[in-house]
Structure 1
Amino acid sequence: MSCNSCSTDTNGVPKGCKSNGNCGTGSCDKLTVFDWLSNMTLPNGQSSFNISEVRFKNGRKHFFKNTKNLAIAIGDVVAVESSPGHDIGTVSLTGELVKIQMRKKDVSFDSEEVKQIYRKASQRDIEVWQAARDKEQEVQRKSRLIVSRLGLKMKLSDIEFQGDGNKATFYYTADDRVDFRLLIKELASTFKIRVEMKQVGLRQEAARLGGIGSCGRELCCSTWLTDFRSVSTSAARYQQLSLNPQKLAGQCGKLKCCLNYELDSYLDALKNFPKTDTWLQTEKGTAVFQKMDIFKGLLWYAYKDNPMQWVDLEAEKVNEIIKINKEGKKVASLEMYASKINVPTVPEAAFTNVVGQDSLTRFDKNKGNKSNKRRKNRNNKRKSPRKNA
């Protein structure tokens, strides 16, 4: 995963940021915002915005006030206010662009959610933070054993320790409501920490864990997708996709988010297409819709009396036939309006025998020939007269 400006030349030097290996955008993590105002000075007499955006594990971000006027920049590790104690995060954005981000997320400047930055993280803070992060996998493994022993129908997907190591947030997914009061007591007594349970959806779980999609690339939800819009099966119907749950579902078990990417283009193209439940009245009989090709603008119809013979029609011709039918008239036949688009046919390749690969018993024959030769040699030796010594 990388931003577009991080492409490198043959020598491995970044082309875009020109910083000899250090990313100029702050990082290549999810939801990274490029600070295009970093080289611009503010008007005279205007002070810089005192709220910064701080990033935590798996792209989680919050806004914090710089009440102490600390000289912080993008990429600095800071200790921020938390409940209780303090947390450690990385500054992801500063300056005037933070205002735009706060408006986008509907967070007011004087909100109680906007806490303060304590200090720049010291070496001791970073060591405690790294030690807490190193314990996450082992704590997650033991926590899953506890969940299994208690028989709770839930799945622990991820654990995030606070920067001071005194608190941990357990992210879980569940289909129904779960009573985890006993679980919290068990976790708190086992790991000697404060426990916070947070339920996330299946899409959010896939975004946190990441993975490779069926297209061969990283999941959109874990790289750049920020809003999880609902996806319905009608999106697949409009795009003429087969309603196969195994192909339409992503790793989260829900319908793939990419079904919405080209849906608007399909809906615009379908505006010129007639409704598929409309029958065409001809003198040869009633014709019923069979299928369509949106890219070529073709529809296939077949007579009720002869459903095996399909006639391809352009969308404009079908609309013309429907208009005539509404006037109470019938057209002579569909063949009169048949499409004149010639579909190129691929010539059949002549069969060629490649080194006898068409024979399934070619190896058996070779073995049989060798064994026959050996038998003949043995028989010849037996028949030949022995020489006198």
Structure 2
Amino acid sequence: MKNKILIFLLIIKSVGLISAQGFIKGEYKSYQYDSEPRVVVKDEYTFDQNMYLTTLVSKSVLDKKWDKELNVICENNDMLFVIKMTREKLNYEKGQNDKRTYTLKKEKEHWSLFYFEKLIGKLSYSATQEECYFYSYKSNSEEIFYSKKNNEFSLFGTKYVLKNGIFYDQNVDGNETYKLKSCNKYEINYSSEGLESEYKFEKNYYCTDINDTCLLWILRNDINPFLLPYLFCKIDRAYHSTSYLAEGTTTYEPEHLQRKDGLPWASGNGKGIGDIISIKEFEHENPETLIIMNGYQDVNHPDYYEKNSRVKTLKITNRQTKKSKTIAVSDTKEEQRFSLKELGKGGEYELEILDVYKGNKYDDLCIQYLVVE
């Protein structure tokens, strides 16, 4: 496991720098057969109100001595983005410091990428396919470095799946442990051949613009792999639930609620009474409608609907305004809509299960589709 300093790039979208509205704070530690960490990396990212990076400061300690410090500043001038990086190697001879300037110019259908003043390639994306590409003028080759399908992401050859707010690396052999400490606090532990690593971070940043994913390519090799999907992988909504059902390798996590086909969300708490589903919406700034499709709906197994429990009563709370309402959900396969206007503006909601329609065979509470927009 190689230690990598956390570095990434997000481009400022709005004109001019504005006060920071978002953050990521992380601490990475690497142990090599000792109780004290040999490597410590501390990072702090600040973002504007649109969640685009404004500054990054990263400091590392090697064997209890300050080793390196990284500073990144992003500047924007009407679709011309300038990224200034300074790496200072504190325990090396003078002349080892590194200063770099990248410029991205927005063209009609792509971004032109310059290193200092030399044109080195272009970045493009497909919003419909949700894929990002880099074309190198030096090698005359193109790579697809990001793609998304449902809750599965492919990023630089690594496959991730999003479950209950945590990105799981599908390529590892089970020696990583993931923990969601609270809604925005994470802990990841890694063990391999005597090398122990841990990464703890907290954040309120989410990648919500596929342009961000495209532009992040510049510093891709310097991002700690633990944090990498949380920076690159575009999500329209962040879901979390107090429980979800797992049957062997099949899981019914809350991210399934974003799509009408496929597996539903199912409570891991039997009938689900008392479970809470949390939704943070990005695509719609102030959602006005809750949309729900009740039960387990599978066209190939229509009996699954009656066999499993369905939601009967929901309490909806706007986390920003603290206003709540209780709704009665009909026992039907049809799509149902409920107004959120009286709960005020905001994009974060909690939905508490108060009552259910009991399944005729299983207690498991299922919901096929649940979004705000």
| Larger radius of gyration between Structure 1 and Structure 2 | 1
Fold shared by both chains (TM-score > 0.5): no
Which protein is richer in strand relative to its size?
2
TM-score normalised according to structure 2 size: 0.24
Which protein is richer in helix relative to its size?
1
TM-score normalised according to structure 1 size: 0.23
